[in-house]
Copies of this chain bind each other. A is one copy, B any other.
């Protein structure tokens, strides 16, 4: 092996420790499950966070076999939730769909199902009532999930999504809800993008402890794009200081996977293999 400076730069002689790295499938949005699994194997990424739609595209059993045969762990299944509808039939459909998502997570060997709980129903301004319906739905789903070995992972989303995606906005609020249930049934997601601004986040991560079901990283980019959902960026491209987050979840006792989940038009337009290369480097440099 050459030892020229140029080659050292390229070949990264200190191989980064990828044992906790997981590719959330959304980061390589143009890839189906088979391609994402193959990409993880090529790059030495040991875990994958799956999404329901691409899994359903090929069938849950086939997706499970692909992941198993490749020797990958499934770090999470994204996502269930959208539990705020007040109309009984819509609500019932949401609960049924969430039970199906739990079944899929169990079949895939995913330890947790990420829940994006839903925003205000169309035309409603009753935020307390929407939050109450989330609590009722989680109470209905938690035992079902627990019996199947799947943990519901409540994800507090950035407050800019409170109206249309998640009436859970802070880690404190997610923990207040999760703590009403056994720890093996309901946990929380710590996602740097959603929580970086929160002055209470360090206290709440420490409080979360064994409730941390998933740790997701990506950056917060400025300006917020026209589609606000796509403000998530590659680590290092935005404003977040990642290492304190990783150290805080470690200190809280979390030793699980660290998922990189990026919704970003530029990342999605890039060659997914190059995205993985950058992701590994940034993970090693900025998160570890």
A contact set with B: CB distance below 8 Å = 120, 125-127, 131, 158-160, 162-164, 169-170, 172-173, 196-200, 220, 222-228, 238-241
Contact = CB atoms under 8 A, between A and B. Distances in A.
Instruction: Indicate the member of A162, A196, A224, A240 with the most B CB atoms within 10 Å.
Output: A224
Given A163-B222, A224-B224, A170 B199 contact: yes
A173 B127 CA distance: 22
Contacts of A198: 159, 169-170
Contacts of A222: 163-164
A92 B39 CA distance: 52
A220 B127 contact: no
Copies held by the complex: 2
A126 B220 contact: no
**Which 8 A-B residue pairings sit nearest by Cβ, starting from the closest?**
A162-B197, A160-B160, A125-B241, A159-B197, A163-B239, A173-B199, A226-B226, A224-B228
Given A120-B239, A160-B224, A172-B199, 7 more contacts: A125-B239, A125-B241, A127-B196, A159-B197, A163-B238, A164-B222, A172-B200
A131 B169 contact: no
Contacts of A228: 223-224, 228
Contact of A158 (B125, B159, B200, B227): B159
B220 A163 contact: yes
